[in-house]
Structure formats: C-alpha cells, structure tokens
Amino acid sequence: MEIAIVIVFVLGYLAITLEHSLKIDKLIPALLMMALAWALVAFGIDGFDNWFVMHGTEGELISIGDWKHEGRMHLMESTLLHHFGKTCEILIFLVGAMTIVEIIDHYDGFSSIKDFIKTNSKRTLLWIIAILAFILSAIIDNLTATIVLITILRKILDKREDRLWFAGMIIIAANAGGAWSPIGDVTTTMLWIGKKVTTGKLIANLLLPSLICMVVPTLIASMMPAFKGTFEAPKDSVKTNPKGPLMLYLGLLMILFVPVFKTVTHLPPYIGMMLSLGIVSMVAELISNRQFSLSHRIDGEIQPEEDHGDGNGDAHGGHNSPTFKALGRIEMPSILFFLGILMTVAAMESLGLIFQFGQDVNASMDQNVFISSR
C-alpha cells in the first residue's frame, strides 16, 4: 500500500507540473491526491507495521504490528486531526495576510507607491524598483509583491519591451527579499510556523546573502543598454483614493506586527495575523461607513460610487464592507492547493516514508552540509 501512495503522490505532482499542458488547474490534482492518499491509508491500515507519531515539533517511528483494528483506526484519526490542525494554522495565516493585502488594494493603497518615484532615469528607476521589491516582498509574499510592482510599472513605462526588462529584475529582487523574512515566502512561513526557524536567526543569517542576491544582479543590469537613458511616464488621469496611503501603511505595519506578537506572547502566528486583520478591517469599516454616510443622495436614496477604490460599496447596492469584498477576492484555489499538498505529504509522513527517506539522505551525505537557522 505504501507503494500505491507514493505512486499517487508522483502522479499528482506530475499533473501539477504539467498544469498548462493538461489545462487542468493545479488545485484539482492536489486535492485528488490528498483524498486518495488518505483513502489508501484507511484501506490498508491493518497492514502497516510502523507509524510516525508527532510529539510537539519532534516525532518518532513506532511499531504498530501487534495493534488491533480499533487502536489503529483511532491512531489514524488522531494523526489526521493533528496534521489538519497544523495545516490549518498555515492556511488561516495565509488567508489573513491575503485579506489584508486585498483590503489595501481595495483602497488603491499600492498605487501610492508610485508617488515615491520622482525620476525619469531608467537606471535610477531600476534601483528604486529593485529596493521596493526587496522590501515589499519581505512583508507580503514575493509573488504578491511582484504583481503589485509590475502593475505599478505599467503606469510608469509605456513600452512593453522596457517593462519586460524591469519585470525580470523585479522577480529577482522579490525572490531575494522574500528569503530572509519569516513572512516573505510561503515556504519560509511554513518553517517558521512549524518552529523550525526563529525570526532573529533567520534574519541574521539570511539578510546579507539575500541583499547580495539583489544588489549584484541589479548592479550588473544597471550597466546594460536596456537600463540606460530616460523615459517619459504616461499621464495618469485616474483619481486616487485619499485613504490609500493610510491603508497601505497600516496594512504593512500590522503584517510586520505579527512576528513581534509571536515573540512577545509565544502564541501561534495565525493568532497575531487574525489580530492584525481585525485591526485593519475595523479601520477599513470605519472609513467605509464614513464615506458612505457622506455620499450624495438622489431621489431620497444613497447612491454608492462605482469606483473600485472608493470604499463606498458596489454599483448594485451590494455589501458595503471592504472586508467582505476582500474575502471574496483572495486566492482560495491557492489555499486549497496548499491544503492538498501538505495533507498528502502528511499521509506519507504518518507511514514513516518521509522519516525513512530523511534517514537515508542523512546516511548518504556529510552532516556538515546541513545548517540550522534556529
């Protein structure tokens, strides 16, 4: 049965990597392999000799060869609940962070970043964009930071060819920036939530290497012909939301508050993220309600504005809450994708497959290769 579970995992991952060729969203194979893996565990529960039991952040491989069926089923159910709880800690954390980002975007907060750019030199713009990507990706995840900055770039550069060169540098800088922060990348966040790394050691060990990974490519790129000369920014006639900067600074500050909250209280990070989301949502609601109450009346009825970032509700008289709208815009497929991947790995871990693989890797490699960031 272990072989069948590994085959399900391999085929599922193959389908994920071939997402564009198969034209099937990666969410689907992730959920399918999760369900099939645990179904195979349930069907073969009486045939397993070993089981990996977690004790806090550590675990051990125990023998269950002489266990009865009822005991095996109870062990499987408790293990499934344990892994689901740990996975949900990560997912709820991501939901909170995504919602804060969407609330900022609801008020066009990220557009205010454009106000920091006061140059028409391509080389200067390159360094500004690279530094912004490095910093922003350490606060929000690197993918979101990349999307935000590329969106801003479209408002600054007219030529598509120029935007492609700058977009490439944004990706490099964002990946470098997301590596040294516990909240800058999903993988690092998972290690941080799982207590495999600490904030202080992570920053101390990776900040300088990450900075080098951003500075060196940017320095090389600044000498290339594509980043020489000047540009003329297109005139932006779109009206910006006056509350945008407030929501940007508040949202980013509250995300940065999460590691501080965890250090002070020793509570799981998702608790701090929910606190931050609550504060950002409360401020957004107060702003939205005030703007809504000041909106003009036509024929005795309040007419909400249609602008995306006005905070006044939608054109069809829908829900006025910016939090409600932000929750409807978060990437739920990505959340469920992570659920599928993590729970599939948990199924293999429960059977001791991951533990045994780790032992084999340790036996075949020099221990000096491995480092600890705790």
Q: How many CA within 13 A on the CB side of residue 343?
A: 27
Average pLDDT, the chain: 83
- Residues of the chain with pLDDT > 90: what percent? 34
Q: Which helix (H) or strand (E) holds 52?
A: strand 50-55
pLDDT-based confidence at 238, cuts 50/70/90?
low
Report the C-alpha gap between 328 and 102 in whole angstroms. 9
What pLDDT is stored for residue 214 in this prediction?
A: 93
Among 10-14, 170-174, 195-199, the minimum mean pLDDT is found in 195-199
User: Which tens digits make up the pLDDT trace of 318-334?
Assistant: 456 888 888 888 888 88
Report the C-alpha gap between 246 and 230 in whole angstroms. 31
Over residues 207-225, mean pLDDT: 92
Among 133-147, 299-313, 339-353, the minimum mean pLDDT is found in 299-313
Among 81-90, 237-246, 298-307, 357-366, the minimum mean pLDDT is found in 298-307
Q: Residues 256, 261, 264, 266: what is their CA dihedral angle, to the nearest 10 degrees?
A: -120
What pLDDT is stored for residue 218 in this prediction?
A: 93
Pairing of strands 297-298, 301-302: antiparallel
pLDDT-based confidence at 231, cuts 50/70/90?
confident
Report the C-alpha gap between 27 and 9 in whole angstroms. 14
User: Which tens digits make up the pLDDT trace of 271-301?
Assistant: 999 999 999 999 998 888 766 555 544 444 4
How is residue 86 written in tokens?
């740990």
Query: Would you say how long the chain is, in residues?
Result: 374
Q: Which residue has tokens 């540098």?
A: 169
DSSP string, 11-27: HHHHHHHTHHHHT--TH
What pLDDT is stored for residue 311 in this prediction?
A: 44
What pLDDT is stored for residue 371 in this prediction?
A: 53
Specify the higher pLDDT residue, 181 or 370.
181
Residue 142 has a CB neighbour count (10 Å cut-off) of 26
Say if residues 139 and 252 touch (Cβ distance below 8 Å).
yes
Which amino acid belongs to residue 187? T
Which amino acid belongs to residue 174? A
How is residue 81 written in tokens?
């609940």
Q: Buried b vs exposed e over 151-180: b needs ≥16 C-beta within 10 Å? A: ebbeebbeeeebbebbbebbbbbbbbbbbb
What pLDDT is stored for residue 303 in this prediction?
A: 46
Would the pLDDT of 53 be above 70?
Answer: yes
Q: How many CA within 13 A on the CB side of residue 7?
A: 5
Report the C-alpha gap between 310 and 361 in whole angstroms. 55
Helix segments in the chain, DSSP class H: 2-17, 19-22, 27-43, 69-106, 122-139, 142-154, 160-179, 186-193, 199-221, 244-265, 269-293, 322-329, 332-350, 353-364
Would the pLDDT of 120 be above 70?
Answer: yes
What pLDDT is stored for residue 196 in this prediction?
A: 82
